[in-house]
Structure 1
Amino acid sequence: MKKNIVVGVGNMLFKDEGIGIYAAEYIRQNYEFEGDIEVIDGGTLGFKLMTYFQEYDNVIILDTVSIEDEIGGIYRLPSDVLLGLGNYRKTAHEVEIVEMLEIVSVLDSHANVTIIGIIPEDIISVGIGLTPKMEERFEEFTLNGIKEIESLGIKAKKVNNIAVDDIVKSMIGSYNGSHLSRIPNEEDFTHETSL
């Protein structure tokens, strides 16, 4: 049986740079699958991606892509196309993904790697949460990920409808300045000092 994995890649500390991670978690929390598929948060895995490229038959990466085109544009980039896109490598993890692909491409057996990428609006500002343009394109981005999963012969069924902001809050407690409720039992602490 073929082993398949979806890896959300990015850095949640830099606005839209976290979209791949959010999309993977959104898929994990909102969908059920019939067939062999794992969905994980790859974060800024870098060279650890090599393990996935060697141990799985199909690897789908959800990520931002640095392509000069309209913000919010969604691309499907199979590994052979990616290897030819020298100008794609802008962020650290983009460089690492391509370097890992170059290394494993000389091996006899390696995964069929496809990137579902979106052109971000802001990956420089420090902040947890997506820009309005990315929020607008988020559903389309995740649906492209689902379509790619289904292309492997895996049936996907939406079972929940948890919004992206709630997904992110469940991961790290905050989204675009909105936080989960106060620290538990915060009011139990007293600031009295005993003499």
Structure 2
Amino acid sequence: MKKRNIVIGVGNMLFKDEGIGIYAAEYIKQNYKFDDEELEIIDGGTLGFKLMTYFQEYDNVIILDTVSIEDKAGEIYRLPSDVLLGLGNYRKTAHEVEIVEMLEIVSVLDSHANVTIIGIIPEDIINVEIGLTQSMENRFEKFILNSIKEIESLGIKATKINNILIPDIVKSMIGSYNGEHLNRIPNEEDFTHAINL
């Protein structure tokens, strides 16, 4: 029987580097094609406990995310689920807690996905701004290549078909990147006028 594989970008785009997993998933979707047409690539956002469905229904789950490990910003880690379950201090952000809790729950079931996190240590997940810090931009391609390597380890061939840059990817998703906007964003007067109508 054909294996079901999914790549899930996790994070929160409102908090600077915290959005990198979501951006990476979209970057892969727009820049690569795969010989497995059933490979799913989704924006998991802050899905939390809904991740349980994926952990139960798929054979392989690759999660792209930031990780809270004491190391310098931009370092990339491959964390298989068994390693993740042993990393008590990993859980710092809400979705990290939920991912590990979901793994703990499904690990007692007879059948569950083989879950691997490709994680990067963020520089800034506190400031409210859509976009990546310079250190994340510098390491983004490496993060993508590690993610592609993980997908290919499942026997899926990846081919790069575009070279859309990260600022353009994020602008296509949300209209803004590090203060640069895709289109003019209405000012407050426009909003007031629209509401008054």
Of 41, 44, 47, the match for 1:45: 47
For residue 3 of structure 2, what is the aligned residue in structure 1?
2
1:18-57 residue pairs with structure 2 within 5 A?
18-35=19-36, 36-57=38-59
Distance 2:12 2:184 in 1: 25
Residue 23 of structure 1 aligns to a residue whose secondary structure is helix
TM-score computed with the length of structure 1 as normaliser: 0.93
- Between the aligned partners of 2:185 and 2:168, the Cα distance in structure 1 is 17
For 2:164 and 2:93, the matched residues in 1 are separated by 29
2:125 counterpart of 1:123: yes
State the shift of 1:81 in Å: 0.1
Give unpaired runs (5+ residues) of structure 2. 187-192
Identity percentage over the alignment? 85
Deviates more, 1:148-157 or 1:30-39: 30-39
Q: How many residues align?
A: 185
Offset of residue 95 of structure 1 = 0.2
TM-aligned CA deviation for residue 87 of structure 1: 0.3
Superposed displacement of residue 181, structure 1: 2.3
Gaps of 5+ in 1: 185-190
2: CA distance, partners of 1:77 / 1:127 = 28
Report the Cα distance in structure 2 between the residues aligned to 1:157 and 1:164, rounded to whole angstroms: 18
What is the TM-score with the length of structure 2 in the denominator?
A: 0.92
Name the aligned partner's letter for residue 14 of structure 1.
F
Name the structure 2 match of 1:141.
143
C-alpha distance in 2, partners of 1:51/1:143? Answer: 27
Partner amino acid, structure 2, of 1:144: N
Partner SS, residue 16 of structure 1: helix
CA distance in 1, matches of 2:72, 2:132: 17
Q: Report which of the two structures shows the higher radius of gyration computed on alpha carbons.
A: 1
Q: 1:176 aligns with which of 175, 178, 187?
A: 178
